[in-house]
Structure 1
Amino acid sequence: MNTGETEGNAVSEIAKAPYLTDGTDFKGALKYYYGVALKRFAKFGVPCAFLWVQMFMWPMEYRGYLLPLAIAGMFGLLFTLFLFYGRMFLTWRCSRVFRAYPLEFRGPVEKVKLERPLRLHLRFGEHADQSLTMLAKDPLGRSRWPEGITNGLWFAGDDPFGGAAIVPGTGELLFMQPSEWALAAEARDNAGEVRIKQAKRAGIKRPVRYR
């Protein structure tokens, strides 16, 4: 199950996105990400659920033989539910940000560190506090640097609070917040009432736990 998902990630990372990635179609990106999350759950979660439930369809005298399959199905279902929740949660977080902030192009982007599992540390090269490093995560769990990210990306948000971004071309969604949340506390406190309220609407006033 893990191998199949990893191969799917690798293919999708080098393919062009099936939606516009020029900062005009964040709804297309969200729809695609929600769809992929649902398809992956259907591909792996539904068969696991069947393995678990099918034991109860047989008479009691046969259930002992089916117990190992049922246990495997139960754990597989729990694992896929965990992945499904994480993907939907971060995609929904990106959705809140896109509806609260306009997308603007930010570049170049400096690659700071690739932290496994599934976390990118990056820094904007222009119009940003150079000491502020962002921790970014793709809701679908891709763990490689998106192709061409150093050229820039479409970002919606406010640096001290974080935001969400779309990578031009490949179209990856990235949810991000300062990697050292406490270091940006002074900038957030001095942001002013308007920016703080906007961050609250976007769901980034407080740190978000990355699953």
Structure 2
Amino acid sequence: MTDASRATAPSVPPAPVDTDRVLGRATRRLLGDLVLRLVLIAALIAVSTVLTRTGTWDSPVLSLFPVAAVFLALFTCYRFVFNVRLGKLRTVLRNYPLEFRPRVTRKEADTWTKYGTSFTLKISGGGQGPTPWVRAVNVIGRRRWPKEAENGAWVAGDPAFGGILVVPGTEEALFLEIAKRDKAARAREEAGPERRARAEQAGLVRKHS
């Protein structure tokens, strides 16, 4: 986050977001991604079939179309794993309120993961004490950094166990967890039984783990 963006950060929180709308948008975005992939698969198969039967284009390249369709189909099946993550998003938002944090600092050291790009953030303000660096990954696996979050964002969860960041305006949702494993383990050990029980109920930690 630049000095200029800090200077333009809002002094008051934006209008509260509706959790049902956040869930609805995430679901529609995921379904949109899946539909687009299914359309591409159908197009690859259809084009290959038509050109082969009509002899319009007699080229070895045509044999690559079905192969590409198969790989795209496998990747599309893999994308269905994000439906499970939508369930986790719903559970967290039902167990923790969204609270506005006026300062979101992003470290320029993004990491590529199979679940989406991992962004390293420092989220502070809102009367909170010192906060650790956290990793943030888009709930539905999108890799673009939502720049709108640099002027503040809504956060739900427990710093020790993780949570959700919701971007004002676009209402994109990202999962959060402490970036360093040793700090995360220490923070969880220091959390009381009430906080741990709530985190378990929200699906942020496995029961009895």
In the alignment, which residue of structure 1 is the partner of 2:27? 34
Structure 2 residue identity aligned to 1:98: L
Q: Which runs of 5+ in 2 are unaligned?
A: 1-13, 49-59
1:203 corresponds in structure 2 to 203
> Do 1:134 and 1:178's aligned partners in 2 also have CA atoms closer than 8 Å?
yes
SS at match of 1:115: strand
Q: Which structure 2 residues correspond to residues 95-174 of structure 1 after superposition, within 5 A?
A: 95-117=90-112, 118-126=117-125, 127-128=127-128, 130=130, 132-174=132-174
CA contact (8 A) 1:100 1:198 kept: yes
Aligned 8 A contact 1:45 1:81 in 2 = no
Q: CA deviation at 1:52?
A: 6.3
1:51: how far off? Answer: 5.5
Q: Deviation per CA, 1:87-138, whole angstroms, max 9, x where unpaired? A: 3333332211101111111221222234143121111222445351110011
Radius of gyration: which is bigger?
A: 2
Distance 1:128 1:181 in 2: 21
Which secondary structure does the structure 2 equivalent of 1:148 belong to?
A: helix
Specify whether residues 191 and 77 from structure 1 end up closer, same or farther in structure 2 by C-alpha distance, changes over 3 A only.
same
CA contact (8 A) 1:41 1:80 kept: yes
Matched, 1:92 2:91: no
Is the 2:17–2:171 contact (alpha carbons within 8 Å) kept by the matching residues of 1? no
Whether contact under 8 Å (1:110, 1:123) holds in the other structure is yes
Deviation digits for residues 35-85 of structure 1 (CA, Å, limit 9, x no counterpart): 121122112125426756999xxxxxxxxx986443321111001222x22
State TM-score, norm by structure 2: 0.72
* Corresponding pairs, count: 177
Alpha-carbon contact 1:147-1:170 (below 8 Å) kept:
no
Kept after mapping to 2: 8 A contact 1:164/1:176? yes
Q: CA deviation at 1:195?
A: 0.8
**Residue 1 (structure 2) pairs with residue 25 (structure 1):** no
Q: C-alpha separation between the residues in 2 aligned to 1:190 and 1:53?
A: 59
Distance 1:50 1:80 in 2: 15
Measure, in 2, the Cα distance between the counterparts of 1:203 and 1:46: 34
51 and 134 in structure 1: CA distance in 2 versus 1, 3 angstrom threshold: same
Q: Is the 8 A contact 2:135 2:177 kept in 1?
A: yes
Q: CA RMSD in A?
A: 2.8
Structure 1 regions of 5+ residues with no counterpart? 1-20, 56-64, 207-211
